[in-house]
Amino acid sequence: MITVYHLDRSRSERPVWLLEELGEPYAIEHFDRMPTLEAPPAYKALHPLGSSPVIKADGKVIAESGAVIEFLATTLGNGRLAVAPGAPNYADYLFWFHFSESTLMNEVTREIMSEAGGVPYENPGRKFSRQRTAGYLAFVNDRLAEVPYFAGEDFTAADIMMTFIFTTTRLFVGLDLAPYPNILRYIERIESRPAYQRSQKIAGPNRERS
């Protein structure tokens, strides 16, 4: 049994969404952020990183967003949401799966931390970061003009990695997607997925609370 330790408004909505897509059973434990937006001490104690997401699978605690999603995608559902080596779109799958956190989210996080730290909006470093983000978003928009999903014709775990940046992340930083119509259409397509809708009720920023 998989247990997802879900921190409110965090990347831990990704494993919930993936598990809903696969129809796999799992347990979930919810943790609210503190007024400072930090994870509470109980969440930080789950793993030495002290960050989200964290899951437990067969007694093994696993952290780091990409590692969590790759583990679940390759070990559950007969690998239905992963792309196997040798497939024509394997390189595309790997690229977008890792681009999400290594490049795009990394740059967006700079802006989030600058805002939180009171760095002036017109600070040269912030301006440079926003320019890089705009370039990355244009790159993403061009990709979505070619294919419906990041790895190609089919929905994969790469989409689960990429989508968070365009949805929940925007609660923390202004990210104007109006100049990127293909991204906006992609979000509409994702938000129409029943598994995504279920995951948002369970672990989204406006989740249903009992």
Domain 90-193, CATH class in plain words: mainly alpha
What would the mean pLDDT of 58-76 be, rounded to a whole number?
97
Q: What are phi and psi of 62, to 5 degrees?
A: -125, 130
Superfamily for the 2-81+196-203 domain: Glutaredoxin (3.40.30.10)
For the chain, give every domain's residue range: 2-81+196-203, 90-193
What would the mean pLDDT of 177-181 be, rounded to a whole number?
94
The pLDDT mean for the chain works out to 93
| pLDDT (0 to 100) of residue 121 | 84
Highest mean pLDDT among 7-11, 22-26, 176-180: 22-26
* 24 neighbors 56 (Cβ within 8 angstroms): no
Distance of CA 180 to the CA centre of its chain: 19
| pLDDT (0 to 100) of residue 29 | 97
pLDDT tens-digit map of 113-155: 887 788 898 999 888 988 999 999 999 999 999 999 999 999 9
pLDDT tens-digit map of 73-128: 999 999 999 999 999 999 999 999 999 999 998 888 888 888 778 889 899 988 89
| pLDDT (0 to 100) of residue 109 | 84
Q: Return the percentage of the chain with pLDDT > 90, whole number.
A: 76
| pLDDT (0 to 100) of residue 196 | 97
**Integer Cα distance of 95 and 20 in angstroms:** 24
End-to-end CA distance of the chain: 23
Q: Return the percentage of the chain with pLDDT > 70, whole number.
A: 99
**Integer Cα distance of 5 and 2 in angstroms:** 10
**Integer Cα distance of 47 and 111 in angstroms:** 26
pLDDT tens-digit map of 197-210: 999 999 998 887 76
What would the mean pLDDT of 14-18 be, rounded to a whole number?
98
